């Protein structure tokens, strides 16, 4: 009598699916643990501020109108700097992807620029672009530029060459091929590069504001830090995290719109 049993299932997985609430639950859980720990004294007040205190500080910040005062310059710096860096980065990346001379000339330059900690160049930017907004825009733009370039030309390299040959075989113009075949084909890679570039932009924003700004989230955090005011420090950090989450979900939304064809 042979043994009879169902074939064991071993497929599945390796395929991200939408699990909307899991991220939220993880956040709530972490915060709840911190709250419980600080209340019971298991975590000392010097190591971690109580989440509810941070929330109170945050409410105060909101009510006093200081939040808007710090947030709006930060957001405009982020927007201008990242828009500059990303748009120049995508254009240069496409040029490198399409033209051998650009590739030969610029890939080594980008490789040389990438590992430079951009913050180290801030004094230089201050001389070049002025102590005001200019140097901050430049820092953020420069910091987002290099990862965007690398992601973009990699993405262009990965566009299926037979699709480009197809475009040529139908006599499409060069510009049509770039617009209708190369760019959409490179879009998945460009967008995942954008995720990294924008996170870097937030880091650089704070760094620039710490080094010289009256208002801005970075300045706020620096001030709180120098006074050892952990509640305010954490309120600032939370704003940054929220900003990060918002940017990331914005990109997810763009991906869902632009890349729906991937299914």
Partner 1 sequence: MGPRQTGGISMELRLKNLSHAYGGTEVLRDITLTIPEGRIVCIVGPSGCGKSTLLRMMGGLEQPDAGEILQVGSPPEGCLNPLTYVFQDFALLPWRSVEGNIALALEDHRLGRQKRQAIVADVLARTGLSDFAGALPRQLSGGMKQRVAIARALAVNPAVMLLDEPLSALDAQTRELLMDDLIGLWTRAPFTSVYVTHNLAEAVRLGHAIVVLSRRPGAIREMVEIAAPLEARDMADPVLAAKQQHLWELMRDEARAADAELADA
Residue choice 71, 172, 240, 251 for contact with partner 1 (CB under 8 A)? 172
Residue choice 29, 33, 59, 166 for contact with partner 1 (CB under 8 A)? 166
Q: Does 257 bind partner 1 (CB under 8 A)?
A: no
Residue choice 158, 168, 241, 248 for contact with partner 1 (CB under 8 A)? 168
Residue choice 21, 169, 214, 257 for contact with partner 1 (CB under 8 A)? 169
Q: Does 212 bind partner 1 (CB under 8 A)?
A: no
**In the complex, least distance from residue 170 CB atom to partner 1, rounded to whole angstroms:** 5
The nearer residue to partner 1, 94 or 110, going by C-beta atoms, is 94
Distance CA 66, CA 103 (A): 47
Q: Does 173 bind partner 1 (CB under 8 A)?
A: yes
Q: With the C-alpha atoms ordered 58, 215, 227, 117, is the resulting torsion angle positive or negative? A: positive
Residue choice 115, 162, 226, 228 for contact with partner 1 (CB under 8 A)? 162
**In the complex, least distance from residue 164 CB atom to partner 1, rounded to whole angstroms:** 9
Residue choice 45, 165, 241, 248 for contact with partner 1 (CB under 8 A)? 165
Binding piece for partner 1, criterion CB under 8 A, among 113-121, 122-130, 135-143, 180-188 = 180-188
**In the complex, least distance from residue 257 CB atom to partner 1, rounded to whole angstroms:** 12
Residue choice 69, 103, 180, 195 for contact with partner 1 (CB under 8 A)? 180
Distance CA 41, CA 182 (A): 58
Q: Does 203 bind partner 1 (CB under 8 A)?
A: no
The nearer residue to partner 1, 39 or 165, going by C-beta atoms, is 165
3-state secondary structure the chain: CCCCCCCCCCCCCCCCCCCCCHHHHHHHHHHHHHHHHHHHCCCCCCCCCCHHHHHHHHHHHHHCCHHHHHHHHHHHHHHHHHHHHHHHHHHHHHHHHHCHHHHHHHHHHHHHHCCCCHHHHHHHHHHHHCCCHHHHHHHHHHHHHHHHHHHHHHHHHCCCHHHHHHHHHCCCCHHHHHHHHHHHHHHHHHHHHHHHHHHHHHHHHHHHHHHCCCCCHHHHHHHHHHCCCHHHHHHHHHHHHHHHHHHHHHHHHHHHHHCHHHC
Distance CA 84, CA 80 (A): 6
Task: Pull the structure tokens for residue 49.
Answer: 């501020």
Q: Does 170 bind partner 1 (CB under 8 A)?
A: yes
Residue choice 113, 163, 211, 251 for contact with partner 1 (CB under 8 A)? 163
Pick out residues in 3-42 that bind partner 1 (CB under 8 A).
none
Q: Binding residues for partner 1, per CB under 8 A?
A: 162-163, 165-173, 176, 180-181, 184-185, 259, 261-263
């Amino acid at each position: 009598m042979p043994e009879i049993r169902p074939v064991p299932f071993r497929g599945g997985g390796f395929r991200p699916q939408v699990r909307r609430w899991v991220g939220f639950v993880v956040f709530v859980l972490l915060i709840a643990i911190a709250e419980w720990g600080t209340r019971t004294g298991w975590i000392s007040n010097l190591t971690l501020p109580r989440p509810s205190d941070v929330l109170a500080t945050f409410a105060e910040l909101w009510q006093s109108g200081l939040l808007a005062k710090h947030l709006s310059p930060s957001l405009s710096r982020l927007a201008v700097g990242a828009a500059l860096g990303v748009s120049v980065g995508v254009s240069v990346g496409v040029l490198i992807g399409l033209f051998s001379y650009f590739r030969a000339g610029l890939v080594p330059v980008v490789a040389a620029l990438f590992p430079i900690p951009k913050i180290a160049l801030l004094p230089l930017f201050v001389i070049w672009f002025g102590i005001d907004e200019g140097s901050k825009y430049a820092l953020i733009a420069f910091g987002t530029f290099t990862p965007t370039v690398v992601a973009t030309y990699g993405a262009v390299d990965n566009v299926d060459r037979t699709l480009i040959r197809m475009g040529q075989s139908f006599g499409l113009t060069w510009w049509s091929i770039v617009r209708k075949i190369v760019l959409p084909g490179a879009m998945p890679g460009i967008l995942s590069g954008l995720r990294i570039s924008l996170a870097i932009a937030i880091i650089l924003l704070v760094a620039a504001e710490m080094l010289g700004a009256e208002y801005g989230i970075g300045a706020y955090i620096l001030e709180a830090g120098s006074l050892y005011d952990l509640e305010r420090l954490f309120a600032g950090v939370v704003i940054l995290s929220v900003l990060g989450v918002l940017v990331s979900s914005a990109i997810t939304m763009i991906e869902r719109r632009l890349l729906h064809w991937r299914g």
